[in-house]
Amino acid sequence: MLRVWQALVLVAVIALWHIGTSPTLLPPLYFDNADKAAFFFGEPLTVLSRIWNWFAGGEIYRHLWVTLVETLLAFVMGTVSGLLIGIWLALAPTASAISDPYIKALNAMPRLILAPIFFVWFGLGIASKVAIGVSLVFFIVFFNVYQGVREVSPVVLANARMLGATHRQLLRYVYLPSAMSWVFASLHNSVGLAFVGAVVGEYLGSSEGVGYLIHQAEGVFDINSVFAGIVVLTGFALVLDWCVTLAEKRLMIWQPRQGETERI
């Protein structure tokens, strides 16, 4: 039943959109020209056919692939570097105290503004988009891991030491799993930001990727293609998010979940 209502909302929004922008269905209420609404807001049917043509013609796959590669690279590199540096700083109080103000400053900085620098350093190819994504993902993972390592239960730690764990074993069997649970808590966020980094990077300067597609369409005032790009990106993001949920379910079975009782 819920699904039906959810579908109805979608249908209603599209129907409203269609009626509002179609030049023949309504008299021009706000715009002096009947075609202006369509110019600014696009038309849902044209948007759909645009998407269809992209997929049917095969033109979109190359762009999606590039965006996917950028997102995954940024995600993996950002997560791994955040994990390593997070664990290191959490366990090295002196290094952590020295770097504290700089990390805070870097985190406070709107990091998308680094894009021009990355373009100069890494060129207009994949590398600069990955760099933007990494700069976004790193801090999320870093702060979570830092917190996770510092909040390892002292009793669990003492217990592992009493059971004979060496320093390395503590790192591997206590700190790392504990930090991983925090990494997973931030996984949805970090995949999302890796994606943002990739698309914004493409939008700012590239020759392929879905962000580039949108930028091209915007350049010729093809609002329908812009909307089509947005819809494709949203679908893509949903698929990524779903993959994360799957991975989470697989790897985090040890975490307690709120119990639910069945009503008989």
Q: Is 163 in the site for other proteins (CB under 8 A)?
A: yes
User: Can you tell me which of 160, 171, 200, 237 binds other proteins, judged by CB under 8 A?
Assistant: 160
Give the Cα separation of 53 and 12 in Å (integer). Answer: 24
User: Can you tell me which of 107, 207, 234, 255 binds other proteins, judged by CB under 8 A?
Assistant: 255
Minimum distance of other proteins from residue 169's CB (angstroms): 5
User: Can you tell me which of 79, 128, 135, 178 binds other proteins, judged by CB under 8 A?
Assistant: 178
Give the Cα separation of 239 and 88 in Å (integer). Answer: 33
Kindly tell me which of 36 and 150 has the beta carbon lying closer to other proteins.
150
Residue (of 254, 88, 93) closest to 171 by Cα position = 88
With residue 142 as reference, give the H or E element that holds it: helix 126-150
Give the Cα separation of 234 and 258 in Å (integer). Answer: 30
Q: Is 97 in the site for other proteins (CB under 8 A)?
A: no
Query: What does the chain come to in residues?
Result: 264
Non-local CB neighbours of 3 within 8 Å, separated by 6+ positions: none
Q: Is 181 in the site for other proteins (CB under 8 A)?
A: yes
Minimum distance of other proteins from residue 86's CB (angstroms): 18
Q: Is 162 in the site for other proteins (CB under 8 A)?
A: yes
Give the Cα separation of 152 and 163 in Å (integer). Answer: 17
Q: Is 45 in the site for other proteins (CB under 8 A)?
A: no
SS3 26: coil
Q: Is 253 in the site for other proteins (CB under 8 A)?
A: yes
Whole-angstrom CA distances from 51 to 7, 60, 81, 239 are 20, 9, 37, 17
Q: How many residues bind other proteins (CB under 8 A)?
A: 23
Stretch near other proteins under the rule CB under 8 A, chosen from 24-32, 71-79, 160-168, 220-228 = 160-168
SS3 177: helix
Instruction: Give residues in contact with other proteins (CB under 8 A).
Output: 153, 155-156, 158-166, 169, 173-174, 177-178, 180-181, 253-256
